[in-house]
Structure 1
Amino acid sequence: MSRPRRDPRAERDNRTVESRGRTRLDFGRRETLPVSGRMRRDPWREWAASLAGETDGERKRYDRSQRQMNRAEAVRFARARETLDATDISPGQPALRVIDEPAFLVFAVVETAGGRLSRFDRQVLGAARLLADAGDGGGAVVAVAPESVEGLGEAGADRLLHLPRAATQRGRTAALKAAVDRLAPRHVLLAEEGDGADCARRLSVALGEPLFANVEHLTARQAVRAIRNRGAEIGLAPPRLMTLGEDRAKPYEAVPCEAREIEGGPATAPADPAILSVEIVPGDPAKLSLSETDFVVSAGNGVSDFAAFRDLAAAMKGTPGASRVVCDAGLMPRTAQVGASGTVLAADCYLALGISGAPQHLQGIAGCEHVIAVNTDLHAAMIERAGLAIVQDAQLVMPALLKLLQERET
């Protein structure tokens, strides 16, 4: 569809008949009417572009994430395309963004809990990438992490600086301060959560520099946070030391970076004379609250054998949860209810067994990074929300998973 869009205002002006009183229009005119100059959208072409895979006579499936790019996305796509064109890459070889001599550095301190990047870690790296790309001459993002994890380059890290895990926050702060003194980064970004927030305040005192905490809006020119019990806002040029609030920055989604390791970091963390020994005692997943756990195994109306469900949750070391229907029936305690009327999760992984996906339940798992669904209905809302789906009866899947876990242990 390539015909131009109509301009209704111009058409009305063209049909207006001169009169002394009320405006009169002549709809019998057949003159060439002006057009707006914009081309009409072609819905059939958009639907064809969003078609997911070959159909082969089966029911068509569409990728609803296909949408028109806004201005910011178009600029990011253009920059990525320029980088791709400027790099000598053979066909079939993935593109890689390389910055050999950066004009400045931006530290992104990530936690990498469990040996992987969390959603919050990717947001911190995305914010650091925003600051690095906005500077004159081009900067580089340095991921400050205790270990090398998969996906640092895809998340926007140009360099990797190893800081070994310390027994206390005092030792971690001392190691981070030594790295800041040695490499002199322009910005240091940390997460406004848990150990990251504590380390940021300790680092502020150790460096003698102010901390701009809990940034809610970050651009290349301004950092904004709320003050006076969220009754007002304060904004200033991005300072050197900042903490970022969760879901306040977008992860990096352009050409992957190289994540080259920086040599010369400390081999061991500084020892704290006040600490004699450190031991991590894992908690019992069955006794953890749903708001604190990282992995939840939840049962819905499609589960009837709750003894097998509890055995599976224990074998997978997950915290048991349930839908509202199961809790209303008294099959699971009310504290296990997941959803808007129960507990809103922030877990890394959520395994839904026999849950169709009511709107209130989907609101409760909106903050989960990975969702795995087991359901017999291919078109259930939970299947659409899941990143991995098993279209099968949960009563058949549970013993199969238990068998696989037992075989791995032996």
Structure 2
Amino acid sequence: MVPGTARRRLDRAQRVPAAEAAPSAITAAIDAAPRLVVIAEPAYLVALVPDAPGGRLTPADRQLFGAARALADAGGGAVLALVERPGEEFGPAGADRVLALPVSGYDPEAKALALNAALAALDLRHVLFPESADGGDLARRLAALSGAPFFAAAESLSPKAVTRAAHGRRVEQRRAPPRLISLAPDAVAPHAGSRHEALPVAFAFPEPTGGGILSAEFIPADPAKVPLAEADFVVSAGNGVTDLATFRALVAALNATPGASRMLCDAGLMPRSAQVGASGTVLDARGYFALGIAGAPQHLQGVARCEHVIAVNTDLHAAMIERAGLAVVADAQLVMPALLRLLQDEARQPERQP
């Protein structure tokens, strides 16, 4: 219960003071800890190639691990993660083995050549990719190099069948899982429960030969001009924001894409293309920063797929505060200039030496 009110609140932290923690509750927590699964001699390997931007797994990457576990656990196999940089997330996500690829930076051709070498030398029954901009491109490159059968944008996957809609979703294509598969978003649930050992694997990759790309560089788009549906980080203003000049300055300082609630768009203060929600644009961004937005049901539908949500609102009981992973109960009109000053001070500081 919230002090001074009769409204119940959810405590997602599940923290209990040590003096109040019962021994039975502590024992139950220990028993519920994820167990470590070790597969010493797998019958075969199911590989996956996550996008993992910046070394972090995306929700689509975690779904990829869930699909790989379903294929591996059906016959005593193991999951091999083919990644650019190993990390601590792969074991809890469901990886039994981790193989570091000899690729750094944005070089899709070199990465495809390295994957083709691993595909030819290792006993990989299946190789899974996310059907994303990078994952889908890489899967098609590998299919062209190896000549292995490829099933793109699978919407359901099991050890016996893989399916997808076709011809305007009027028919369903179904077949046994081929060697190369890319998964559509939300096709399979992420792996949960047991933790796997994520044992590093040594493999001598050959020197890449035959590549036609001499130089590859990823050039990010201007976030101010990116459509909301394709934006990675969105900062939105609601009815609690009246100083739109400071809001636009903050959006530029955060290198984000501007968004807005329906009320601001209806009032003509923000363009209709910036409206977030079921009646506007449904986001697929990794980060969403809501300033002065209470959180109508239609707006919450628009941010349902966002991985991280930050909200600033004066109402402790606002639906957006409840949805947020990080909430600031304060006036957005005061938070915006304070945050802008911190960003400006940080920009003026000299770069730290590594």
* Residue 177 (structure 1) aligned with residue 116 (structure 2): yes
* More displaced 10-residue stretch of structure 1: 187-196 or 118-127: 187-196
8 Å CA contact 1:117–1:149 kept in 2: the answer is no
What residue number does 2:305 align with?
Answer: 367
Task: Report the CA distance shift for 1:392/1:166 in structure 2 as closer, same or farther (over 3 A).
Answer: closer
Task: Report the CA distance shift for 1:55/1:379 in structure 2 as closer, same or farther (over 3 A).
Answer: closer
Shift of 1:91: 9.2
* Residue 142 (structure 1) aligned with residue 90 (structure 2): no
The higher-RCO structure (CA 8 Å, 6+ apart) is: 2
8 Å CA contact 1:104–1:185 kept in 2: the answer is yes
Select which of 262, 270, 293 maps to 1:355.
Answer: 293
Cα distance in 2 between the residues matched to 1:177 and 1:109: 12
Cα distance in 1 between the residues matched to 2:281 and 2:205: 42
Cα distance in 2 between the residues matched to 1:365 and 1:112: 21
Select which of 96, 119, 141 maps to 2:59.
Answer: 119
8 Å CA contact 1:170–1:272 kept in 2: the answer is no
What residue number does 2:131 align with?
Answer: 192
Shift of 1:181: 1.3
What residue number does 1:294 align with?
Answer: 232
Matched residue SS, 2:230: coil
What's the TM-score, normalizing by structure 2?
0.85
Shift of 1:251: 0.5
* More displaced 10-residue stretch of structure 1: 102-111 or 207-216: 207-216
What's the TM-score, normalizing by structure 1?
0.74
Task: Report the CA distance shift for 1:327/1:267 in structure 2 as closer, same or farther (over 3 A).
Answer: farther
Matched residue SS, 2:290: strand
Cα distance in 2 between the residues matched to 1:358 and 1:115: 34
What residue number does 1:399 align with?
Answer: 337
Letter of the 1:399 partner, please give it.
P
Task: Report the CA distance shift for 1:402/1:265 in structure 2 as closer, same or farther (over 3 A).
Answer: farther
What residue number does 1:275 align with?
Answer: 213
Letter of the 2:248 partner, please give it.
R
* Residue 152 (structure 1) aligned with residue 90 (structure 2): yes
Matched residue SS, 2:37: coil
8 Å CA contact 1:168–1:272 kept in 2: the answer is no
* Residue 208 (structure 1) aligned with residue 151 (structure 2): no
Shift of 1:117: 0.9
8 Å CA contact 1:179–1:265 kept in 2: the answer is no
Select which of 29, 33, 48 maps to 1:108.
Answer: 48
Cα distance in 1 between the residues matched to 2:279 and 2:34: 46
What residue number does 2:9 align with?
Answer: 61
Task: Report the CA distance shift for 1:147/1:405 in structure 2 as closer, same or farther (over 3 A).
Answer: same
* Residue 133 (structure 1) aligned with residue 73 (structure 2): yes
* Residue 225 (structure 1) aligned with residue 161 (structure 2): no
Letter of the 1:116 partner, please give it.
R
Aligned residue pair count: 330
Cα distance in 1 between the residues matched to 2:249 and 2:98: 41
Note the alpha carbon deviations across 1:10-55, whole angstroms, 9 max, x for none: xxxxxxxxxxxxxxxxxxxxxxxxxxxxxxxxxxxxxxxxxxxx87
Cα distance in 2 between the residues matched to 1:166 and 1:179: 19
Ranges in structure 1 where 5+ consecutive residues have no aligned partner: 1-53, 65-89
Cα distance in 2 between the residues matched to 1:209 and 1:274: 21
Ranges in structure 2 where 5+ consecutive residues have no aligned partner: 13-29, 350-354
Task: Report the CA distance shift for 1:222/1:277 in structure 2 as closer, same or farther (over 3 A).
Answer: closer
Shift of 1:150: 4.3
Larger radius of gyration: 1
* Residue 336 (structure 1) aligned with residue 284 (structure 2): no
Note the alpha carbon deviations across 1:27-86, whole angstroms, 9 max, x for none: xxxxxxxxxxxxxxxxxxxxxxxxxxx87887542479xxxxxxxxxxxxxxxxxxxxxx
Matched residue SS, 1:263: coil
* More displaced 10-residue stretch of structure 1: 259-268 or 158-167: 259-268
CA RMSD in angstroms comes to 2.7
Identity over aligned pairs, percent: 57
Cα distance in 2 between the residues matched to 1:386 and 1:406: 26
* Residue 384 (structure 1) aligned with residue 322 (structure 2): yes
